[in-house]
Amino acid sequence: MQHYVFGTIIVLAGVMIAVVGRRTGQGKLGRNRKAGIRTATTLASDEAWLTVHRAAEPWTIAGGLAMIICGLAALGIQHNGIAAVVAGLGALLGAGLSIIGAVVGHSVLRAR
């Protein structure tokens, strides 16, 4: 039963991260304090927000997809301990790839 909880949470979080990454990268989700890469630099201007998010978009989407894949895998694992490890791996991959995207995005902005 717990493997359903682990998997479902990771899948939903992955979908949210991928959608936010896509929408911010496309400029459909503008500068705000609730979703996206929210640093002093990105919140300083619309141009900085969009530049960072465009560069980070593929990384953020990859992070969301990694979470979705691991979450779906966790749903198929009957052993709760293993399902938790797989779901945790998805969370780490999602966070790691999203952080890489933020770093890449800020690097692109600094290079301008």
- Give tens-digit pLDDT for 7-56: 999 999 999 999 999 999 999 999 999 999 999 999 999 999 999 999 99
Q: What are phi and psi of 58, to 5 degrees?
A: -65, -35
Q: Which helix (H) or strand (E) holds 45?
A: none
Calculate the CA 12 to chain-centre distance: 11
State yes or no: pLDDT of 71 exceeds 70. yes
State yes or no: pLDDT of 3 exceeds 80. no
- Give pLDDT, residue 37: 96
Return d(Cα 59, Cα 96) in angstroms, integer. 9
Contact, 93 vs 17, CB < 8 A? no
pTM equals 0.91
- Give pLDDT, residue 6: 86
Q: For the residues 54-81, what does the mean pLDDT come to?
A: 95
